Amino acid sequence: MTHRNAPLTIEGRRRLVERCRTRPIAHVAAEMGISRACASKWVNRYRSHGELGLEDRSSTPHHQPTATTSEALVLIEQLRRTHKWSASRIAFELAQAGTSISRRTVSRHLAGLGINRRRFIDPNGEVNRQPRKIQARRPGHMIHVDVKKVGRIPDGGGWRAHGRGSDQAKAVNRRKKTGRGGYIYLHSAIDGYSRLAYTEALPDEKATTAIAFLHRARAWLAAHGIARIERIVTDNGACYRAESFTRALLGARHQRIAPYTPRHNGKVERYNRILAEEFLYARTWTSEAQRAYLLGRWIIHYNYHRPHTALGNQPPAARLPDGVTNVMASYN
């Protein structure tokens, strides 16, 4: 196929052949800015095949001993359209039938056939499974827990306060190289039913830290009317995979989401985004102590004053059985 920088198009090759009828090939090649070998190639193709010799040829090899057979391609398409199986499942079924094809090869053929997406299989976009909402039925039914890692604010402010080329920003970069910059880990627990949230800024995300945070979050939720926790939903972080964390659940069921599927823990992930947009990066901070101090006030604003669209533009505390009568527990 002719690329955008090609010196010869089909018409250019035709003119090349016409000029070479009466002039030496080397002279015509130099005049047209191509090599003599390239000019000879097109002249010889024209002499052998006529006008068809001037057309672009496919770069596909003439022989491909390891190419997927046409029978296997038909079977891949049939399994995909009939059962709507994934590439991994199709590769497994082919291996069971005696045809060994890698999952990546199956994925490539599905893309080539135009059926690599589930919505491409049927004209109406029908699939063989329906999405289900992860919805809590009552307060304490599902408590979503997660950790958000943010940079530590240096005393006096960082580059956001003074600019990237400032002396303060350069000092921060030097501290990062020596390992003294560090991060702050925001541990959060949010009730899936009411969206009531509790967050602490802690120095690390070790299992012992996560367990201590869970105990404090449990006590905080109990003070707000959520005395019983049935299920705790987390990702697959190292602190949540620890055996000691499982023992600290006190009878609650521990549910870890599927790997690389943060949407299964979407309520706390959405809360992390709100936290970043409305608090972490909503203003310029001058120290980590200032941000940590105001974090508690923002949590009160989120739980008792900020409208939540999923709750009918009511704050999370309004969905609790006791409403906001125990608001003082948050201010202590």
Q: At CA 229, angle to CA 319 and CA 326, rounded to 5?
A: 40
DSSP notation for 226-279:
-----EEEE-S-HHHHSHHHHHTTTTPEEEEPPTT-GGGGHHHHHHHHHHIIII
Pair 134, 264: CB distance under 8 Å: yes
- Radius of gyration from C-alpha coordinates of the chain: 32
- Among 3-17, 37-51, 111-125, the range of highest mean pLDDT: 37-51
pLDDT at 326 over 50: no
pLDDT at 241 over 70: yes
Q: β-strand 231-234 against 253-256: which pairing, if any?
A: parallel
Distances from the Cα of 17 to the Cα of 5, 110, 200, 208, angstroms? 20, 42, 78, 80
Separation of CA 282 from chain center: 24
pLDDT band for position 161 (cuts 50, 70, 90): low
What distance in Å separates the CA atoms of residue 260 and residue 239, rounded to the nearest whole number?
16
If we measure between CA atoms, which residue out of 266, 267, 295 comes closest to residue 282?
Answer: 295
What distance in Å separates the CA atoms of residue 307 and residue 314, rounded to the nearest whole number?
5
The model's pLDDT over 67-79, given as tens digits with 9 standing for 90+, comes to 888 899 999 999 9
Average confidence (pLDDT) over 159-179: 67
pLDDT band for position 147 (cuts 50, 70, 90): very high
Mean pLDDT value across the chain: 84
pLDDT at 305 over 80: yes
If we measure between CA atoms, which residue out of 156, 206, 205 comes closest to residue 184?
Answer: 205
- Domain ranges for the chain, please list them: 10-54, 70-121, 143-331
Residue 231, φ and ψ in degrees, nearest 5: -145, 140
Does 143-331 carry CATH code 3.30.420.10?
Answer: yes
The model's pLDDT over 251-287, given as tens digits with 9 standing for 90+, comes to 888 988 888 888 888 889 999 998 988 888 887 877 8
Sheet with 197-202, edge to edge strand ranges: 197-202, 183-191, 143-151, 231-234, 253-256
